[in-house]
Amino acid sequence: MSAPRLEIDLDKVQHNARTLVDQLSLRGISVTGVTKAALGSAELARALLRGGVKRLGDSRIENIEGLRRARVPASMSLIRTPMLSQVERVVEHADTSFNTELDVLCALSSAAKRAGVTHGVVLMVELGDLREGILPGDLETTVRETLRLPNLRLRGIGTNLACRSGVVPGPENMAELSALADSIEATFGVELEIVSGGNSANLPWALSSASSGRINDLRLGEALLLGREPLLRQALEGLHTDAITLCAEVIEAKLKPSLPRGKLAQSAFGEVPAAVDRGPVWQTILSLGRQDTDPEGLYPPHGLEVLGASSDHLFMDPGACRLPVGAEVRFQLNYSALLRAMTSPFVTKVVRAAGEPGAGASPPVVPQVGAARASKGIRPVR
């Protein structure tokens, strides 16, 4: 089997989805399964739907178009504000889009009228994270103008936190969003179908709060795929953190000094590495680099340590484990590492389909020593 590669266990993804869907449903919250980190994988999207997610969301219209071509049976939302240059494609392929700009809303209205369809919109509100959103004081004006536009249907409002600035979703900002929903309905006599509180970072609040207020939707990606919440990257109880793993192959293994020799300047990536004398190190190099993933987002097996990375090489100290050339090391990933690995053309994507041998099992995450072997029950992702 080719390396580097991502191995995706659909049974574990489905389990994560079902667990969170069931827990959140007790609080009146449904789940939008976000597919952007999986590059719009149709097989993974179907696993999320089998796990009970209500709708699918993606930030790229290209991924939504791919899901449509694959005939994935789901309502789909474009969760990034549409580009003016893509409004025709948005109204054709997305049932709903998340919006912040009146110019874009007007263009969507015109495109939907030409296409003879009604397009759903969710208005995003800025509640402190400074990513995207309408300021709360401007929301009423934007709602009024949106309701005047033909061929658009205001489906709800939403917000996004803990993304750009790391603002924690909690009782105060979720109560503010709920109050805005109540105010809009009272002022305009409309019913908001969706009040989308945010992303996986909302889970600590949602799963511990006595009341979710008006929040009835969360857009989940990281928690479903990686089993962790984004605030502290802690594992969520009952979820698999190894539903997706990254495998890389050893291409060099040599005993080398831990201190570089010669005058030091910036590395290829503008860094001046801290030089620490650890004595001779059995340095292991893997065929995986910054062009393939985010090295800082890799979780190696116990006893192994990532020392650094170049464009094409990952440098490791294997500790007491001596990994020969041809051995494989299996990593768990954080969201940044997954996103970059999934979009790299040099990382093979393979999927273990539901019901195939080994699917859903939880083997220990340890390096595979010896020549790389094809894993049973996995095939290229579509």
Enumerate the active-site residues.
Answer: 36
What secondary structure, in 3-state letters, does 223-282 show?
HHHHCECCCCCCECCCCCCCCEEEEEEEEEEEEECCCCCCCCCCCCCCCCCCCCCCCCEE
Q: Exposure of 164 by Cβ count < 10 A (0-12 exposed, 13-18 middle, 19+ buried)?
A: exposed
With contact defined as beta carbons under 8 Å apart, do 123 and 154 qualify?
A: yes
Residues with Cβ < 8 Å from 180, sequence gap 6 or more? 125, 136, 139, 157
Q: Which CA distances in Å does 152 have to 59, 155, 213, 332, 358?
A: 20, 9, 26, 42, 47
Radius of gyration of the chain (CA): 23
Dihedral angle of Cα 277, 279, 282, 284, to the nearest 10 degrees: 10
Q: Exposure of 379 by Cβ count < 10 A (0-12 exposed, 13-18 middle, 19+ buried)?
A: exposed
> Which residue is associated with the tokens 């893509």?
86
106-139 burial: b if 16+ Cβ within 10 Å, else e: bbbbbbbbeeeeebbbbbbbbbebebbbbebeeb
Whole-angstrom distance, CA of residue 113 vs CA of residue 232: 45
Whole-angstrom distance, CA of residue 21 vs CA of residue 49: 10
Whole-angstrom distance, CA of residue 329 vs CA of residue 312: 16
| Two structure tokens written together for 25 | 């449903």
Q: Which residues pair with 152 in a beta bridge?
A: 119
